[in-house]
Amino acid sequence: MNAWAHNADLLLHSGVIHALDASSSCAEAIAMGAGKILATGRLADLSPLVGPHTRSIDLAGRAVVPGLFDAHPHLDRLGLRDRVGLSIAHCESVSDIVQTIREAAARTPAGQWIVTQPMGVPPDGYWSRPDQVREGRLPDRHDLDRATPDHPVFIRSPWGWWTRLPLPAVANSRALELCGVRTDTPNPYRIEIVRDGRGDPTGLFMERNRAPTLEMVLMHAVPRFSFEQRIQGLQHGMALAREAGVTAGFEGHGLTPALLDAWRQLGQSAGLTMRMQAALSVPSASFDDEAIEAQLQTWSRRLSGQGTRSGLFTEEGLCLDVADPAVARILGCAYPYEHWAGHFAQALSSERLIRLGTCAARLGLRVSILVCYELERVLQCLEAIDAQVPLRALRWVAVHVTQATPQQLERMHRLGLIATVTPGFMQHADDRFGLLELGDRGTPIRSLLDAGVPVALSTDGVPHSMLFAVWQAIARQDGQRGRVLGDSGLTREEALRLASVEGHRLTWSEGHRGPLTPGHDADLIVLPQDPLQCAWDDLATMRADLTIVDGQVVYERAPPC
């Protein structure tokens, strides 16, 4: 304590401080200064650090834990969902939607587009069925025409990983005319143009692609998300994150150069209220391998090693992906536009994954790869790359691990992979990944840990609460049927560590960040209850009272009136 040459900037006391260090130590007070943790212990022992400018906060029995780390937050998409377009989340009926659009038309110059957010309530209450609507049907062009015949109107579909298929979108007659959608327009890939008895489009579209393509294949004239809107989306996404106690994140899915630039601008302007590290999403569906390899040569100057920092933002590594090649081809034609995604469409064959992955490894680039459906194929490719360039020291990332056999776990460990896992899939994604059929074999957090594979928890933005992720990692509840999908084998402390301390391995910062240890970065949160002692189900809806990043209070919940 005497080694510090200045007083504390901030002192939290009279609560329980869970350091989540190697010895699981607890304290009643914690002092911070110059962005670092100065000391933890009894309040009386920390009194020499208190000076005239020290802010002292009485915890009144509340709990302090390390700041939460979301290993897959999609904050850009989270912000767009809530902030871009006319909100109709309050609408429970077709008539509500018509009235809301009518009111918007009254303040919008004739001829200008009116584009709304998706129908339903985020994060997981979007409409996909008629029985979710008061009238027992989804709206059509005639409804929107009643709202305004003078404006093209379009109700966007949600991002497909937020909800259940199909994804509905609606256009009025003027919008259909501007986009050239007519009676003879054929159905695009996995999209139904709903038609009336005469075969004319009703204005309702039902899409069965998780990554929606409607605005690329038919509704070309709909205004696209702008760079300014993406900046606004990031700012709103960060606001939601700090209220949820998230102090750091890692976006292994990768981001387009435009979004990397948005994060970089916010970092350079001190506009960030959390630490963020993101990889480059490679536009492999838009360019051949030679062009991608040339891009990697250029980008490696910024992304290799431990990346390049701009304030609290670091850009490092890249993402390669395996997905539906038909969808990737469609979305790849829209390059460089990324729609909701924030990342480019990819659907790499094994041959391309090995070639581009080998190029990345030789350039010293860390690669994140989504493995939801194809862990075995990905492992075979990584082993082929590893035979040419050893991967273990590069800390490559297996994103969205939903299942793995004992043999696959052993191979992941040998390759030095870090696994990111999204417990919320068990609650909100029973129509994908086969988690219901897998039961206790799905979302294998305990098995990953026992195999020596580092694990970090994530939200994927649905919902965006890491405390919900902690709860669900243990509860393992199927949200549709109320079943418990096996015993997690985790303790509360283990789950909390996976949501706070362990994620810092993804950002190469576990030596100076995570546990609340003197000398570590002062990233921590105050919770209204002790997460290791509270009623367990309370954790699923708990929010932070105070969020501190780099020793600065970035969020403080207003006291109840």
For 235-274, the pLDDT digits (tens) are: 999 999 999 999 999 998 999 999 999 999 999 998 899 9
- pLDDT category of residue 84 using cuts at 50, 70 and 90: very high
Transcribe 337-360 into DSSP letters.
--TTSSS------HHHHHHHHHHH
* Average pLDDT, integer, range 83-106: 96
Q: Is the pLDDT of residue 561 over 90?
A: no
Structure tokens at 17: 């401080």
Is the dihedral angle over the CA atoms 399, 214, 462, 487 positive or is it negative? negative
The CA angle 368-373-376, to the nearest 5 degrees, is 75
* Average pLDDT, integer, range 334-338: 94
Which amino acid is located at 211 in the chain?
A
Percent over 70 (pLDDT), the chain = 99
* Average pLDDT, integer, range 134-151: 97
The whole-number pLDDT of residue 434 equals: 78
* Average pLDDT, integer, range 211-231: 96
* Average pLDDT, integer, range 425-433: 80
Distance CA 304, CA 508 (A): 13
Q: Is the pLDDT of residue 471 over 60?
A: yes
- pLDDT category of residue 520 using cuts at 50, 70 and 90: very high
The whole-number pLDDT of residue 5 equals: 54
> What is the pTM for the complete model shown?
0.96
Percent over 90 (pLDDT), the chain = 90
191, 165 Cβ separation under 8 angstroms: no
- pLDDT category of residue 382 using cuts at 50, 70 and 90: very high
* Average pLDDT, integer, range 457-481: 93
223-248: string of b/e by CB count within 10 Å (b at 16+)? eebeeebbbbbbbbbbbbbbbbbbbb
- Write the DSSP symbol of residue 274: S
For 290-320, the pLDDT digits (tens) are: 999 999 999 999 999 999 999 999 999 999 9
90, 96 Cβ separation under 8 angstroms: yes
* Average pLDDT, integer, range 123-150: 95
**Which has the minimum average pLDDT: 299-313, 376-390, 430-444?**
430-444
- pLDDT category of residue 438 using cuts at 50, 70 and 90: confident
400-412: string of b/e by CB count within 10 Å (b at 16+)? bbbbbeeebbebb
Which amino acid is located at 365 in the chain?
L
The whole-number pLDDT of residue 252 equals: 87
Distance CA 119, CA 97 (A): 9
For 189-211, the pLDDT digits (tens) are: 999 999 999 999 999 999 999 99
Name the nearest CA neighbour of 93 among 138, 133, 142, 139: 133
Q: Is the pLDDT of residue 383 over 50?
A: yes
E-assigned strand segments in 259-351: 275-281, 308-310, 313-320
The whole-number pLDDT of residue 212 equals: 96
The whole-number pLDDT of residue 2 equals: 40
